Amino acid sequence: GDPKVPVLYEVERTRTGKSFSVRSVKAIQHGKPIFTCQASFQLSQESPVRHQFTMPTVPPPEQLLTQEELIHKFLQNPNLAERYRKHLTKIQAEDVPIDIKPVNPPDVFCLEPQEPKQLFWVRARGYIGETDMKLHCCVAAYISDYAFLGTALLPHRQYRIKFMVSLDHSMWFHAPFRADHWMLYECESPWAGGCRGLVQGRLWRRDGVLAVTCAQEGVIRVEQTPNQSKL
């Protein structure tokens, strides 16, 4: 999309039921669709059928370094290759409105394949407050897309990325949450192939409640010749 051009939203009332309703949305710029979305809504209902996975046991965010602090630490190493120094400096310069604390940050000097799983503590920067839950859901949608597809690249760190972009992104909201409070983002990639990668994610509240489940498929294209060393 073009941030300088207004977006026209076309909303179709796909279905309106007693408990569930569906709306289809098309965002248009320059006369062409740039985004399509299907949103489902449900009236709050109680049920004895309830369960969830168990939240992973990890150190609290107060004991971990932020992404900015980790990058600063890497940049202090005189053995870091110049192209990786430029890449990290570029990331450091980005104005990302999210606080991120990786639980197990990858070693920037290591090209060994890693399991396609990663954990982050995440939250929106600044204060949002006790406002409409829909706003927190919108912020969580932004947070969920950050570094999500990169999980599929952890077993293939020897390759340089040429192109990577999301194709489809789905979210299911299970329980109320605050996007400006720390949440644990559990990401994993069960499959990649054919220049595509599939990732799944869970956003946990600090009290162990599963708040959001996410899934994304994206395009991943890499250079066929693997990198030899980061030094």
Active-site annotation holder among 21, 24, 145, 180? 145
Residue among 24, 166, 180, 200 flagged as catalytic: 166
Beta bridge partners of 183: 122, 205
Task: Please write the tens of the pLDDT for every residue from 70-124.
Answer: 888 878 778 776 766 776 776 666 778 999 999 998 776 667 889 999 999 999 9
DSSP 3-state helix, strand, coil percentages of the chain (rounded to 5)?
Answer: 20, 40, 40
Instruction: Output DSSP code: residue 29.
Output: E
What is the rounded CA–CA span in Å between residue 61 and residue 31? 45
Q: Decide: 103 and 119 in contact? Cβ < 8 Å.
A: yes
Residue 114 appears among annotated catalytic residues = no
**Model confidence at 231: pLDDT above 60:** no
Q: Residue 21's pLDDT is what?
A: 98
Q: In what order do the strands lie in the sheet with 32-42?
A: 8-16, 20-29, 32-42
Domains in the chain: ranges and CATH:
1-43 (3.10.129.10), 66-95 (no CATH), 96-230 (3.10.129.10)
- For residue 230, the model assigns a pLDDT of 47
Count CB-CB contacts under 10 A for residue 195.
Answer: 11
Give yes or no: 67 in active site. Answer: no
pLDDT digits (tens, 9 = 90+) for 124-168: 999 999 999 999 999 999 999 988 999 999 999 889 899 999 999
Asked whether the beta carbons of 9 and 26 are under 8 A apart, the reply is yes
pTM of the model: 0.89
Is 166 known to be catalytic?
Answer: yes
